[in-house]
Amino acid sequence: MAAPTVLMGAVAYDPKVVTIWEGFRAWLRGRGLAFDFVLYSHYERQVEDLVAGRIDAAWNSPLAWLRAERLAAANGTAVHALTMRDTDQDLTSIVVVRADSPVRQVADLAGGVVAVGAVDSPQATLIPLAHLASAGVEVDVRRFDIGVGLHGDHIGGERDAARALVAGAVDAACMIDGNHLAFVREGTLPPEGTRIVAQTARYDHCNMTVREPESAGVRLFGTLLLGMSYADPQVRPLLDLEGLTAWRDGRSTGYDALAGAVDATGFYSPDGRVTATDYRP
């Protein structure tokens, strides 16, 4: 009898998601894994389907990982992080001002206007705003809600926050450190036109979330992902599109900052219900 198909969920935040996982599917099937994927329009349904057992794995945002943990525990089950990208580990978010700004330190932002990404962006909204709050700095927040439900994977809101900073409409903007560099490269931010006034502690980003206990197919899925080589011409273009050079063992130790922000804002309840009043994916 044929082995059961491992069914993975991914959120379609960009057309490249189809290209990536169609390519990975062919590679995985060529190495003996019965594998397929389904696409979701937002993370909340993907998490619910994973916990309910309708899919075997979910390529989750950090916010979706936290909800999966809570929802699974409330249902008497458990999930864990099977794998993650090398580029998902030890990231930071930053608060940026214009180079000509009178703001010299984070305390100077008190009472100012700070631009952030979408309401559900861990890196451009939840984590940096929690960082400012922990420093005792109260600000007026201007949010750019683009791609709500995609948990910041669509960086349009983050980019618009950067544009608002350049235009002088806000005093500062929040973004992940890697996008600060990307926005300079693409011309959204002028070279040497900004300064960093605050940087968060390190945190982790996406992971491949699976239910416990793992099936034999899911274990093979993890083993094959970890065995992908950047030197392999079949997968290298796909790895580039997905933004990694190697898969790593999953870990759950890098989500404390986001969990604190989720609790402080009431984004999710302790049992995994969506409780943010202005969040409608």
Give yes or no for a contact between 157 and 99, defined as CB atoms under 8 angstroms apart: no
Spatial separation of the C-alpha atoms in residues 39 and 8, rounded to whole Å: 9
User: pTM of whole model > 0.85?
Assistant: yes
- How far is residue 51 from each of residues 44, 74, 128, 264, measured CA to CA in Å? 11, 10, 29, 24
The pLDDT score that the predictor gives to residue 63 is 98
Q: What values do phi and psi take at 83, rounded to 5?
A: -145, 170
Token look-up 């057309």 returns 15
| Interstrand relation of 35-40 and 6-11 (parallel, antiparallel or unpaired) | parallel
Question: Residue 3: what pLDDT?
Answer: 83
State which amino acid sits at residue 88: D
Q: What is the pLDDT of residue 186?
A: 97
The closest of 161, 151, 158, 129 to 261, measured between CA atoms, is 129
Tokens 């979408």: give the residue.
Answer: 118
Using 50 as the pLDDT threshold, list the residues of the chain that sit under it: none
Biggest CA–CA distance in the chain, Å, is: 70
Instruction: Identify the pLDDT of residue 1.
Output: 64
> Between the CA of residue 98 and those of 104, 130, 135, 191, 198, what are the distances in Å?
10, 22, 21, 11, 13
Residue with tokens 């040497």: 192
Give the amino acid at 204: D
